[in-house]
């Protein structure tokens, strides 16, 4: 049994809590990084706060619980990809592996006592704002709960995306998505088709290639690949961090600072990026000897336009004689083969989809109904937007974690989540002190903010780098990326800006 599988086999350490209360002040949906950040920050201000977390799965962890494919690891340095309020000296690598991150999140919950506030195996089915009572009516798989404040911490990368491929239902072999890896399937001696060449594929393909009889990898567009400067943290380093936490904090600050310098190129001076691609081109030349394969793996867009991939063995794996790199799209599937756009057929008995997620169509948006009776998905119409990536006009007392335009191309989303948690905590404090029962961002404030976002993104590599990516919606608008330095976002979310909101106050103990 692998280390990942053994962790999955462990019993959850969460306290037994299965009864859903009839009402709660703050309801957080999701117990991954976002949900844990939100509830931890709320309890920092008020340890007795009436806050509850519901989680659709059996345990906490979010994407780091669900994604257990071989080689799964973070592509952000571990020093940053962890909570500032819960440093750990026990990381084994500079880029942490999935089992460690999963254990870390479970450890944060256990040590802080958050488990008593989490109900697992409880999914959000629907939520509707009740204007008469100024609260959310939330339907879950375990019953209905009334919540004064609703926090959607469901993540942007939580629902796998499967393409609609003709004939897939006729395939007699094994099919699964990399985000729902089938560990019961022994891939030894199998002929495997991998659909997609993104961040997941670059990690698991080198891990399974030696077991497979043959691998056929479908690449829609090549990506820029740079070396992953990963190393094992020594016992001396871990001991130093344990005895002198300030040292680890200083390392975190140093890594944060130099990663922020990436924005100078990606967002403010993209004209320098072709020089950066020299590193990626040299990496490609070293790893791929076949000229035709090398040409097929060379992008024709500016580095950084799509997510840069970190790997030391992906490119060399694609240069192996027992690996077929297909550069035309998968168009159909037969009972025992996959067919590309050129009509070429490849016999396979296993298909693994590494086709990503749906960040511009978050499933939770279809479950949330606002003031006018329309869902958040209907409001967004395929192009999400929010105020400070957190609140939306027409949806009072709703706070989004990892909302629109909070994703990063250079640093850690955990930093952004902690910033949003600060904003949420500030809002709750002002509501509590001011006797406020509901807050709704004004349409003007949201429009002005998003106008700044889009103007700021216009000259960045994510919008003008010459590629199509999951950062862009169907209209070519970018509802995903944050356009500048992360400390700018942190400063803008330190305190809740009440002037940008319409507030409803409590009068004589009655909601009005």
Would you call 50 helix, strand, or coil by DSSP?
Answer: coil
Residue pair 407/471 in contact (Cβ under 8 Å)? The answer is yes
The whole-angstrom separation of Cα 360 and Cα 358 is: 6
What is the SS3 assignment for 23-34? EEEEEEECCCHH
Q: Is 371 left (phi over 0), alpha (psi -120 to 50) or beta?
A: alpha
The pLDDT of residue 288 is 97
Instruction: Find all residues with CB under 8 Å of 486, minimum gap 6, and list them.
Output: 260, 263, 408, 411, 415, 416, 419
The whole-angstrom separation of Cα 305 and Cα 263 is: 13
| Burial 270-305, CB ≥16 within 10 A → b, else e | beebeebbeebeebbeebbeeeebbeebebebbbbb
Topology agreement, domain 3-159+358-511 and domain 168-223+307-353:
yes
- Residue ranges covered by each domain of the chain: 3-159+358-511, 168-223+307-353
Q: Dig out the tokens for 65 from the structure.
A: 């619980």
* Alpha-helix runs per DSSP H in 209-244: 235-243
The pLDDT of residue 178 is 94
The whole-angstrom separation of Cα 35 and Cα 60 is: 9
The pLDDT of residue 474 is 81
The whole-angstrom separation of Cα 433 and Cα 96 is: 41
Q: Pairing relation of β-strands 510-511 and 330-333?
A: unpaired
Strand partners, 4: none
The superfamily CATH assigns to domain 168-223+307-353 is FAD/NAD(P)-binding domain (3.50.50.60)
The whole-angstrom separation of Cα 256 and Cα 260 is: 6
For 3-159+358-511, CATH number out of 3.40.50.2300, 3.50.50.60, 3.40.50.720, 1.20.1300.10 equals 3.50.50.60
> What's the Rg (C-alpha) of the chain?
23
Mean pLDDT by 10 residues, the chain (512 residues): 38 59 97 98 96 97 95 95 96 97 97 95 97 97 98 82 90 95 96 96 98 97 95 96 96 95 90 92 96 96 93 97 96 96 96 82 91 96 95 98 95 97 98 96 98 96 88 88 97 97 74 40
Q: Count CB neighbours of 342 within 10 A.
A: 10
Cα dist. 323→18, 156, 202, 326, 346 in Å?
A: 49, 32, 14, 10, 12
The whole-angstrom separation of Cα 135 and Cα 149 is: 7
The whole-angstrom separation of Cα 179 and Cα 160 is: 6
Q: Pairing relation of β-strands 337-340 and 345-347?
A: antiparallel
Q: How many CA atoms lie within 13 A of 327 on its CB side?
A: 12
User: Which pTM does this prediction carry?
Assistant: 0.93
């Amino acid at each position: 049994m692998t280390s990942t599988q053994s962790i999955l086999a462990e019993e959850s350490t969460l306290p037994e809590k299965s009864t859903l209360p009839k009402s709660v002040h703050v309801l957080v949906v999701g117990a991954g990084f976002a949900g844990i950040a939100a509830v931890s920050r709320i309890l920092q201000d008020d340890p007795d706060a009436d806050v509850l977390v519901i989680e659709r799965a059996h345990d906490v962890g979010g994407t780091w619980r669900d994604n257990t494919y071989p080689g799964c690891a973070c592509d952000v340095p571990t020093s940053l990809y962890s909570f500032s309020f819960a440093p750990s000296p026990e990381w084994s690598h500079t880029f942490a592996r999935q089992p460690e991150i999963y254990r870390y999140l479970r450890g944060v919950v256990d040590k802080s006592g958050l488990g008593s506030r989490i109900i697992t195996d409880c999914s959000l089915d629907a939520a509707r704002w009740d204007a008469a009572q100024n609260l959310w009516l939330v339907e879950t798989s375990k019953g209905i709960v009334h919540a004064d404040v609703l926090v959607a911490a469901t993540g942007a990368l939580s629902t796998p995306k499967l393409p609609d491929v003709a004939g897939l239902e006729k395939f007699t072999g094994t099919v699964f998505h990399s985000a729902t890896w089938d560990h019961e399937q022994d891939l030894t001696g199998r002929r495997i088709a991998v659909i997609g060449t993104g961040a997941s594929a670059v990690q698991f393909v080198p891990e399974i290639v030696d077991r497979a009889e043959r691998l056929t990898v479908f690449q829609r567009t090549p990506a820029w690949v740079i070396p992953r400067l990963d190393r094992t943290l020594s016992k001396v380093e871990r001991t130093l961090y344990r005895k002198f936490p300030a040292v680890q904090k200083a390392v975190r600050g140093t890594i944060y600072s130099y990663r922020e310098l990436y924005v100078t190129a990606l967002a403010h001076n993209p004209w320098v990026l072709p020089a950066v691609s020299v590193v990626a081109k040299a990496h490609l030349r070293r790893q791929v000897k076949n000229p035709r394969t090398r040409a097929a793996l060379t992008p024709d867009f500016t580095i950084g336009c799509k997510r840069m991939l970190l790997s030391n063995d992906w490119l060399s794996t694609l240069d192996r004689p027992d690996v077929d790199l297909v550069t035309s799209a998968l168009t159909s599937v037969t009972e025992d083969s996959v067919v590309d756009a050129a009509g070429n057929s490849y016999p396979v008995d296993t298909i693994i989809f590494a086709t990503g997620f749906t960040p511009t169509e978050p499933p939770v948006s279809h479950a949330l109904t606002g003031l006018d009776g329309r869902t958040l998905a209907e409001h967004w119409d395929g192009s999400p937007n929010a105020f400070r990536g957190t609140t939306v006009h027409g949806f009072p007392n709703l706070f989004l974690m990892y909302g629109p335009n909070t994703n990063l191309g250079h640093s850690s989303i955990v930093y952004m989540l902690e910033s949003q948690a600060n904003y949420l905590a500030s809002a709750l404090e002002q509501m509590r002190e001011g006797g406020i029962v509901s807050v709704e961002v004004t349409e003007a404030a949201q429009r002005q903010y998003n106008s700044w976002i889009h103007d700021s993104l216009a000259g960045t590599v994510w919008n003008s780098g010459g590629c199509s990516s999951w950062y862009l919606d169907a209209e070519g608008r970018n509802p995903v990326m944050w356009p500048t330095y992360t400390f700018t976002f942190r400063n803008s979310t330190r305190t809740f800006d009440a002037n940008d909101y319409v507030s409803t106050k409590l009068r004589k103990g009655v909601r009005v």
